[in-house]
Structure 1
Amino acid sequence: MTMINRRDAIALAGAAMLPALQARAQSNWPTKPIRFLVPFAPGGTSEIVARSVAAELTKQLGHNVFVENKPGGAGVIAMQETAKAAPDGHTIILGHVGTLAVNPYMLSNQPYDVNRDFVPVTLLAKVPNVFVIHPDVPAKNFREFVAYAKQNPGKLNYGSAGNASAGHLAMEYLKLVTGMYMTHIPYRGTGPQLTDLLAGRTQASSAGMPALGAHIRSGALRAIAVGTQSRISALPDVPTVAEMGYKNFETSQWYGILAPAGTPADIVKKLQEESYKALRSSAVTERFATDNAVGGGGPAAEFSTFIKSEQTIWSDIVKRASIKPD
């Protein structure tokens, strides 16, 4: 009887100490380098946002936050790997409109549930979508481009960073409201699709200023419209789609951090707070200002609400535009 009581006492003491030990372990986070997965190939806005923030987080946390590009499957490959990772704050992923708000309605067999298997941490940035064409396209502005595309259905090809990428969604939304018909050519990232666009092998695209800015300024690409409700400072002479007669048209790229479900709340909070600090650093604010990106950094609950609102919007667009994986 004494042995049983002693064992019980030891077990009870251990159980009583466990929360304190767990809290101590969590408060010491991070204890090793952090993997920051990006579900697209290098060269696009997603990577630029991720690397800008990761560089500052590395300085702040004292452990390397390394960005790992893992393209493929409309983001499913990277999302699945993150969902299966240990929920200890050392594996995170860059979520965006495609993986979080479109794939659940476009793909019928995702091996995870975006609302159940991930925990939102914080919104990092919103980046205006810019619509561009190759200079060989015989159109000098948005109205001429729409008219030309309608007169030549199926003649134009547009590239994107892949199925359910922000560029794919923006162009499909534009096709829906204008009645244009163009063929979608998906690539494994913005970098690869820009290679073919610059060479004239595709004729149009939509992406963010971080990826397109230098090519627009050099004249290699022609900007014909932006997806925001107001014109952007980087392209003051380029009209919005809405002011071209398509009222309420609005589309932008957005990016945020997610962690595997089950990640302790205090780690999520610390990561959100450190991300907020990183987004206010001079290096990030200057880069974002150049690219007309709007920084986030708000609490996890705010990002969760934002994701749900985007899911409502894009589930309807996916259905109306019959967006399907190519």
Structure 2
Amino acid sequence: MPTFSLSRRQAVAAGALTAAGITPLISRAQAWPSKPIRLVVPFAPGGSSEIIARATAVELGKNLGGSVFVDNKPGGGGNIAMAEVANADDQHTLILGHIGTLAVNPYIFDKLPYDVSRDFRPISLLAKVPSLYVVKPDLPVKNLKEFLALAKQKPGQLNYSSAGNGSAGHLAFEYLKSASNTFIVHVPYRGTGPQLTDLLAGRVDAAAIGAPAILQFIKTGKVRCIATGTAQRIPQLPDVPTVAEQGLSGFEMTQWYGLMAPAKLNPAHDAKLMAATMKSLKDPGLLEKFAADAALSVGGTAAEFEKFIAVEQQRWKAVITRAKIKPD
């Protein structure tokens, strides 16, 4: 009996100790995030990245039980923001990964202030965005065939704008130039917003821009869409043929965005973050916002996103080498 009583007292004491000491530790570990999460966007406001990031941030905050705010940090082709987040150890900083920062910059810069594989962990692919090829309204072409014919008649006399060297728009147009064997002058800007200002003013002839940022201007006639970079026509522009339909068989060009965590983020948060992200990407409200701008919600696991990045790196390495793309 005495032995039984002592064991019981020990059990009660142990239980009290657990409740008083260990449980709070577990609770603190499970309480992440404990403050608002900063989602860094490595580009200026006004482009596709802004639309994707803000729509995702709202739902992600709800599903994580906190809040997520977007912080634009443009410059250096996205390298400034990537370097900052690579060094972030506050446990509440994430970054919007992009075709440029993850699959292009490693091959156009001689040295980067970050390493995609070492400094970041993929969480999930968020969205793919069609690249739309547009021209100013007074350019005497109605479709891609006519545009390419004009470019061949006047080599080097037509120009196109982009959000900067190595940006998705730059890649999209260089891909088109390579596939069509045309010479069109590149005019780089510091972000999609500044680029759009001159494009809409008619100071540049053409551009390849993500659908979310340019659709409204196509619909109001401020620019003319001559082709989509998608494999099939998009519902928002059913009368606009794809590049492939206009003579360049097999051509496809879409931008993509994904959620990345700095390597310094506690790996214990990854599963919660990935689950919240995948749930967010199925939300009807988010899907409606994406669809309005022709963005396709993707989702998927961290492993799938990691494999996707590797494939894209090899694809664009070949394009960059062929086009001899270099940073500013």
Equivalence for 1:184? 186
Q: Does 1:86 align with 2:106?
A: no
Out of 129-138 and 285-294, give the one that drifted further: 285-294
Q: Which residue in the other structure is 1:294 paired with?
A: 296
State the percentage of identical aligned residues. 56
Distance in structure 1 (CA, Å) of the matches to 2:208 and 2:142:
16
Q: Which runs of 5 or more residues in structure 2 are unaligned?
A: 1-20
* CA deviation profile, 1:32-80 (whole Å, cap 9, x unmatched): 1111110111110001000001011223333221101111101000000
Deviation at 1:87, TM superposition (A): 6.4
**Which moved further from structure 2: 302-311 or 179-188?**
179-188
Unaligned runs of 5+ residues in structure 1 are 1-17
Deviation string 1:242-278 (CA, Å, 9 cap, x unpaired) is: 1222122111010001011142333122111111111
Which residue is equivalent to 1:5?
A: none
Contact 1:38/1:69 (8 A) holds in 2: yes
Supply the distance in 2 between the matched residues of 1:297 and 1:113 (Cα, whole angstroms).
23
Q: Which residue pairs with 1:6 in the alignment? A: none
Q: Which residue of 2 aligns with 1:273?
A: 275
CA distance in 2, matches of 1:206, 1:26: 45
Aligned equivalent of 1:55: 58
Residue 285 of structure 1, aligned match among 287, 300, 322: 287
Of the three residues 137, 140, 145, the one matched with 1:138 is 140
Q: CA deviation at 1:21?
A: 8.0
Q: Which residue of 2 aligns with 1:37?
A: 40
State the SS of the aligned residue for 1:188: coil
1:101 and 2:103 aligned: yes
| The 10-residue stretch of structure 1 (67-76 or 79-88) with the greater mean CA deviation from structure 2 | 79-88
Displacement, 1:19?
11
The code of the aligned residue for 1:267 comes to: H
The answer on 1:244 being equivalent to 2:246 is: yes
Task: Please tell me the residue identity of whatever aligns with 1:112.
Answer: Y
1:75 equivalent to 2:90? Answer no
Flag the 1:27–1:238 CA change in 2: closer, same or farther, 3 A: same
Max Rg structure: 2
Is the CA contact 2:151–2:184 (under 8 Å) kept in the aligned structure 1? yes
Q: Deviations along 1:129-166, whole A, 9 cap, x unmatched?
A: 11000012111111110011111122222111122211
Alignment of 1:86-235 (within 5 A): 86=89, 88=91, 90-235=92-237
Q: Tell which deviates more after alignment, 19-28 or 265-274.
A: 19-28
Match of residue 323, structure 1, among 294, 318, 325: 325
Return the letter of the residue paired with 1:174.
L
Number of residue pairs matched by the alignment: 308
Partner of 1:11: none
Shift of 1:24: 4.8
Q: Verify the 8 A CA contact 1:227 1:240 in the aligned structure 2.
A: yes
Kept in 2: contact 1:87–1:261 (CA 8 A): no
Q: Provide the C-alpha distance between the structure 2 equivalents of 1:198 and 1:26, rounded to a whole number of angstroms.
A: 50
Alignment RMSD (CA, Å)? 1.7
CA distance in 2: counterparts of 1:182 and 1:87, whole angstroms: 45
Alignment partners' CA distance in 2, 1:245 and 1:22: 63
Q: Assess, with a 3 A threshold, how the Cα gap between structure 1 residues 167 and 22 changes in structure 2: closer, same or farther.
A: farther
Q: 1:306 aligns with which of 308, 312, 323?
A: 308
